[in-house]
Structure 1
Amino acid sequence: MTETELHLPPPRAWVGPLLLLAGGVFIGLAPIGLRLGLDHLGPQAIAFWRYVFAIPLLFILLVAIERRMPARINGYVVLAGTFFALDIALWHWGLTLTTVANATFIVNLGNVCVGFIAWLFLKEKPKPIWFAAVLVAVIGAAALSLGGEPGGKSDIRGDVLAIGAAIMVSGYMLCSKLARNRLGAMDVIFWLTVVEAVVAGFMVIISGESFMPPTLAGFAAPAFLALAAQIGGQGLIIAGLGRTPAAIAGIIVLIQPVVAAAISWQLFDESLTAIQGGGAALILFGIWMSQRRPRRRPTTPESKPLQDAVRNAQ
């Protein structure tokens, strides 16, 4: 075995993080789809149709891939779906009052906090490098959010709603992790979406919004969100949670505000300053730090006899 081979991560060790990273990129498109759909539907109705459009597609995918009907739903899925639907409801309201980057940053603080919650409840103690990665990523996220030019569209009411969404997203990540430990990824994402559609329907009624857009063109944004954010984004994140510690997952999905801010720069004229660009770079660096693994010391001729003796003794 060469020294290079000794430094390689365990087989499939990167599958979970890569799934989470791809899911975070797709979820980063969610605020873009919301902004583009607000001319036709309210924020809660957009969320409702996002889930409704995704349900039949997820059912077809589950049956085609697993060759069976969905497994029985459990309580963790119900809790996770409720938390996520409330997170999206508060986040959608917040996005109508503050900038995309600001709302996304605050919500994603909940993803970081889930690492501490998992440590407390799931006994998933993070490695020391995780704390440094969190610090770097949060500083970067703060710079991305708060480093814009003054006089923007930020509103304290939107920030408060985003804080509530951050609390919900922590509960969602924790319960999704528990659900994923008991069910397959396809079962979890399917039942999550069903629960989310039910909760979102109540949110539309409570908010007084109309379920139907004035024209069929109003369904374009929810359909886009169903494919990109719900099936692509949330589906990949659920799959990645089954292969990745919750603490690491919370940092990886911080790619969301980077994607959202970069696209918003072009679509909504929310230009990025040098500070915000540096913040985006820090987030990416924090994600990279969270994935670092300790280097294994190569086996030397002098140490090999001792290692063989220990192995034989075991």
Structure 2
Amino acid sequence: MRPTPSSASAAELRLAYALVFLTPALWCVNYLVARWAPGVIAPHALALGRWSVAALLLGALCWRELLAKRAQLRAEAGRFIVLGALGMWVCGAFVYIGGRSTTAINIGLLYAAAPVLIALASALWLRERLGPAQGLGVALALGGVLYILCKGEWSALAQLRINPGDAWIAVAVMCWAAYSLLLRAWPSVFGPTARLTLTACGGIVVLIPFTAWEALAWLPTELSWRAVGLVLLAALLPGAAAYAAYSVMQRVLGAARVGVVLYLGPLYSAAIGWAVLGERIEPFHGVGALLILPGIWLSTRR
């Protein structure tokens, strides 16, 4: 039986709640990678390299379990392909394609809409109860995201325009919601690390033909140390580390509560943009934070 917030140990709960605030920072590194990649490495090549390295690292940690349970692999192989397509192909390559024509903070803002989809679908499909406090938390956090999106001017929402890069990210957001729900809905005999390793392998299978097409017909990649550095950075932090943390949080807290960690994306992406790219942090970011952070607490509390 999977742990729930009421049955998990105190140590598991402390770890899961700490990861709520750490994981979005790991993912935001991927937004920087998406902005640095154009002109260095093609989107599918970057995603394939990222998950190939991540699969090797994760596999080194769980190879004994994979070997012991190899007989059960065939029963779940189709699920790993589906999860890999959603989580590693779409939420990998599509983000890098979108990053060619949108900003890092826009990526964080769009991904912050995913918890609403996850929370609603969890209540309808997985029958996860979303109490009044959790509902209020989702509303507060969403309000903070919208406040940042419109830069403190609510009238600006009516004038928003979506560019092609944002459209690619929007597709990735919807697929991330589906990935999160299926990860919770489909039980597995494999532990979190082994399951993530096999999911990454499923993603690699899907990515290979698209990477080949990309190299032959669209955007060839030249091997360079900078490209290798981007692959390793994406593989280590927003790849293996972030997805492993997300699996642990889902197992302990549930899909609806864990989905709200994406609300921290706009705050983290703004901070990283300021520290790394020299972007300004405006007063509306602070107001948004005052809404988002209490929303996170209410949405994830026991």
Band of TM-score, shorter chain = 0.7 to 0.9
Cα offset, 1:206, TM superposition: 4.1
Cα offset, 1:290, TM superposition: 1.4
2:109 pairs with 1:116:
no
Distance between the aligned counterparts of 1:47 and 1:123, measured in 2?
33
2:270 pairs with 1:261:
yes
Structure 1 pair 79–134 and aligned structure 2 pair: CA distance change class (3 A): same
1:301 corresponds to: none
What SS does the corresponding residue of 2:41 show, helix, strand or coil? coil
2:193 corresponds to: 186
Distance between the aligned counterparts of 2:283 and 2:65, measured in 1?
46
Which among 70, 76, 79 is matched to residue 76 of structure 1? 79
Report which of the two structures shows the higher radius of gyration computed on alpha carbons. 1
1:231 corresponds to: 240
Aligned CA-pair RMSD: 2.7
Distance between the aligned counterparts of 2:294 and 2:47, measured in 1?
32
Contact preservation (8 Å) 1:50, 1:222: yes
Distance between the aligned counterparts of 1:145 and 1:199, measured in 2?
34
In the alignment, structure 2 segments of 5+ residues that lack a partner are 1-7
Structure 1 pair 55–148 and aligned structure 2 pair: CA distance change class (3 A): farther
- Percent sequence identity is 21
Distance between the aligned counterparts of 2:151 and 2:290, measured in 1?
13
2:81 pairs with 1:105:
no
What SS does the corresponding residue of 1:254 show, helix, strand or coil? helix
Distance between the aligned counterparts of 2:273 and 2:142, measured in 1?
20
Structure 1 pair 22–211 and aligned structure 2 pair: CA distance change class (3 A): farther
Count of residues in correspondence between the two structures: 282
In the alignment, structure 1 segments of 5+ residues that lack a partner are 1-8, 294-314
Contact preservation (8 Å) 1:109, 1:166: yes
Most deviating of 178-187 and 220-229: 178-187
Letter in 2 for 1:231: A
Structure 1 pair 257–224 and aligned structure 2 pair: CA distance change class (3 A): same
Q: CA offsets, 1:116-144, max 9 Å, x none?
A: 11111111121111111111111212233
Which among 264, 282, 288 is matched to residue 291 of structure 2? 282
Structure 1 pair 111–88 and aligned structure 2 pair: CA distance change class (3 A): farther
Q: CA offsets, 1:70-104, max 9 Å, x none?
A: 66261433322211121322222222211211122
Structure 1 pair 50–133 and aligned structure 2 pair: CA distance change class (3 A): same
Cα offset, 1:23, TM superposition: 2.4
Most deviating of 14-23 and 122-131: 14-23
Distance between the aligned counterparts of 1:10 and 1:186, measured in 2?
19
What SS does the corresponding residue of 1:126 show, helix, strand or coil? coil
User: More helix per residue: 1 or 2?
Assistant: 2
Point out 4+ residue stretches in structure 1 off by more than 6 angstroms: 64-67
2:4 corresponds to: none
Cα offset, 1:10, TM superposition: 6.8
Q: CA offsets, 1:142-193, max 9 Å, x none?
A: 233332899xxx8522222222111111111111113455531012110111
Cα offset, 1:261, TM superposition: 2.1
Cα offset, 1:220, TM superposition: 0.4
2:58 corresponds to: 58
